[in-house]
Structure 1
Amino acid sequence: MPAIALPPVPHWTSIEPTGEKLEWAELEVIDLARAKTTEGRTEQVEKARNAMHNQGFFYVVNHGLDKAQVERIFDIAAVPFEQVGSEEKKHFEARIKETGSFMGYKPLQYWHIANGVRDRIEHYNFNRNVNSKPHPDALRPFLPEIQEFVRHNHMNVLHEVARLLTLGLELPEETLVNIHNYEERITHILPATTRRRKQTGNVWMKGHEDQTSLSILYSQPISALQIRDVDSKWRWVKHIENALVINCGRTLEMLSGGYYRSAIHRVVQPPQDQRGNRRLGVFYFCYADDDVQLEPLSASPVLQRVGIKRRMEEGKAPLSGPWREAYIAAYGTSELEKGAEEGIEEEELHGIRVKHYN
């Protein structure tokens, strides 16, 4: 049977990884191929549980896509930014504040970073059903591939990681899988000017916790992502070719009764040898189903042994859908209060205190 010809797309050429000596975070590596064996699965469950409990971050390898397939996805990811004009982008701009949704374009300079400076981050977002909304003309030939990419991330990556983390809580394997929806985001980050770097302390996106359960980043060579490590120091996340970087968000932290750590992370100016280059990212975000109340999974024997930590009183946790929409609508646009800790600002959403780290 002849191979199906894929629509042509310009190749996105990235740069070499940085040669500078940076303080890298030491993150665990989860091997999904090894997790398919009996012995390996026990090992990977322990690794995933400990990593998410201590740091809230880990790498994933052998996720089912080879290097050429991932490069093709990055080629497609550049299309909404390289091949769509500014007027057409406005037609597909997301109504973030009104809807609490990122579907479509998030324009440049929408979020406030610091000292009156706004972001230089542009991204284009898909729903899990890519045909649920119209898209720019240049993207339409690639929708079947994007839909398959969404399916792969949900079925072959998120499901597998969710199962490992569920087993880490000593719960039935499908517990987290059964309560999770998903959506996909492609993100494009433009380089900041010198003036912006000085006014924001080289921060492109201030320290925060994702509102997701799990977030997946396809590793790319330009160093900009940092995590606030267990000792509260900011450390760089190193690029590993064809690996995924997965982090825990607030939703999973609440569901796990604080056992899995919602990872604080930020995006900063790249090291000197990589500046002046655009940073293209491909992300996949997983949210709990809209009607899931974000109460701890108290049946977990692990939580029964170590205790449950809550962000709010028992029985008063919000539903996932309203919580997600409130966070998205407020992020980067709301008035923040000075927190008790130096360099931290706060706001309250659905009764939960949300911190932003400068």
Structure 2
Amino acid sequence: MPSLINDQLPPVRHYEAAPLTKEQLDYVDLPTIDISSFTASADPNVRSQLVAQVRSAIAKYGFFYVLNHGLSTAQTVRMFDIADVPFSDVDDDEKKKYQSRLKETGTQQGYKPRQYHHIDNGIRDQIEIYSLNHDVNKSGHPAALRPLLPEIEQFAYHNHVNVLYPILRLVELHKWEDMSESSGHTDIGSLTLLYSQPIAALQIRTKDGSWKWVKHIENAIVVNAGDAIEFLSGGLYSATIHRVVQPPADQRAYTRLGLFYFVLATEDVKLKPLNSPILQRRADIWLKERFQGAEVPTMAEWRKGRTKSDGNAELKASATNLGVEEEYLNGVLIKHYV
């Protein structure tokens, strides 16, 4: 990736990250994948080992760290500075001009304002989001962000080609040129790449049903599996249930800034088990259990449906699972963990 640090780049106000918490938290022990070995070696055995590591990490946890991903610490810091611009350098009136039409179109491009999602008992969320497509010219952007679009596009391309491709072997379903936009829940797409930041708030639900914190690792990417991976693998790999909770007391005065790259399969891909001998042996049973006779959606249909319903659907308490609320999206059961 071309250097993002030079004197000719537009100046950006520095985002000061929070100090690490001093509280003793129950962290999950996630695997760490060094993807530099994929690009540094042409040895097929080395690459096979990497694939095996990723497969094991997704099967056991659905979450893992990626190190040596090709961006220096300075480059990552620069991207966090850029990520803060839509929130700190854009006033409320201009934000309204670029607000997402989530319920109408199922498209996330633009701003999702605070208090858009209903959480529970009249409580609404306090998360503000700015989303843009990997094709940065697909929609308009606030004036403060426009000079930074070339860097954002480079960043997206780097994540897709230099991070995603080495760890995801389904590249024919996730081509750069074809890709769409990007409570306890699962993510919509295949993988989510989250650049680690110091405020402790992300938790994952482990196999035994407990919630554990995800620890910050400097200049690491936290990767997690989403719905599309579960569907394409016929449940061999599960979408990971996770949530964002209130940070520890010594970090609550700081703003938690997230830097994400969401990976979705190509829009017309049917989210059904791939044509593989291993998956086909379980595909029919899994399809009946998961879709219960409903039409298997395409990536575009699932993306739009989940986006429209998120925070707006009427949830009902599960009759069989305590602490679980359920909704049906086009006949497909979705669980939310409270």
With normalisation by structure 2, the TM-score equals 0.92
Q: Which runs of 5+ in 1 are unaligned?
A: 167-173, 185-205
- Give the match for residue 303 of structure 1: 279
Over the matched positions of the two proteins, sequence identity in percent amounts to 50
Say whether the 8 Å CA contact 1:183–1:284 is kept in structure 2.
no
- Give the match for residue 82 of structure 1: 88
Matches of 2:164 and 2:246, distance apart in 1: 29
Deviation at 1:357, TM superposition (A): 0.7
1:274 to 246, 251, 254: 251
Matches of 2:86 and 2:221, distance apart in 1: 22
Say whether the 8 Å CA contact 1:162–1:177 is kept in structure 2.
no
- Is the partner of 1:11 in helix, strand or coil? coil
What are the within-5 Å matches in structure 2 for residues 309-348 of structure 1? 309-310=286-287, 311-312=290-291, 316-340=295-319, 341-348=321-328
Matches of 1:80 and 1:6, distance apart in 2: 18
Is 1:354 matched with 2:331? no
- Is the partner of 1:152 in helix, strand or coil? helix
Matches of 1:142 and 1:293, distance apart in 2: 35
Matches of 2:75 and 2:331, distance apart in 1: 43
Is 1:26 matched with 2:29? yes
Matches of 1:7 and 1:120, distance apart in 2: 30
Q: Quick one: which amino acid aligns to residue 107 of structure 1?
A: P
- Closer, same or farther: CA 131–177 of 1 in aligned 2, 3 Å: closer
Q: Quick one: which amino acid aligns to residue 317 of structure 1?
A: V
- Is the partner of 1:280 in helix, strand or coil? coil
- Give the match for residue 253 of structure 1: 230
Q: Quick one: which amino acid aligns to residue 14 of structure 2?
A: H
Q: Quick one: which amino acid aligns to residue 356 of structure 1?
A: H
Is 1:243 matched with 2:246? no
Root mean square deviation, CA, Å = 1.8
Matches of 1:178 and 1:138, distance apart in 2: 30
Say whether the 8 Å CA contact 1:107–1:122 is kept in structure 2.
yes
Matches of 1:321 and 1:32, distance apart in 2: 30
- Closer, same or farther: CA 134–98 of 1 in aligned 2, 3 Å: same
Deviation at 1:42, TM superposition (A): 2.0
Cα deviations across residues 323-345 of structure 1 (Å, max 9, x unaligned)? 11010000011111111211111
Cα deviations across residues 224-250 of structure 1 (Å, max 9, x unaligned)? 000001111100000010000011111
Is 1:114 matched with 2:94? no
Is 1:234 matched with 2:211? yes
Matches of 1:142 and 1:42, distance apart in 2: 38
- Give the match for residue 10 of structure 1: 13
Say whether the 8 Å CA contact 2:180–2:267 is kept in structure 1.
no
Matches of 2:181 and 2:33, distance apart in 1: 22
Q: Which runs of 5+ in 2 are unaligned?
A: 1-5
Matches of 1:339 and 1:177, distance apart in 2: 34
Deviation at 1:153, TM superposition (A): 1.0
Matches of 1:183 and 1:33, distance apart in 2: 27
With normalisation by structure 1, the TM-score equals 0.87
- Give the match for residue 283 of structure 1: 260
- Is the partner of 2:237 in helix, strand or coil? coil
Matches of 2:24 and 2:194, distance apart in 1: 23
Deviation at 1:183, TM superposition (A): 3.6
Say whether the 8 Å CA contact 1:79–1:139 is kept in structure 2.
yes
Matches of 2:222 and 2:195, distance apart in 1: 6
Matches of 1:305 and 1:117, distance apart in 2: 44
- Give the match for residue 3 of structure 2: none
- Closer, same or farther: CA 49–305 of 1 in aligned 2, 3 Å: farther
- Closer, same or farther: CA 351–238 of 1 in aligned 2, 3 Å: same
Deviation at 1:18, TM superposition (A): 1.4
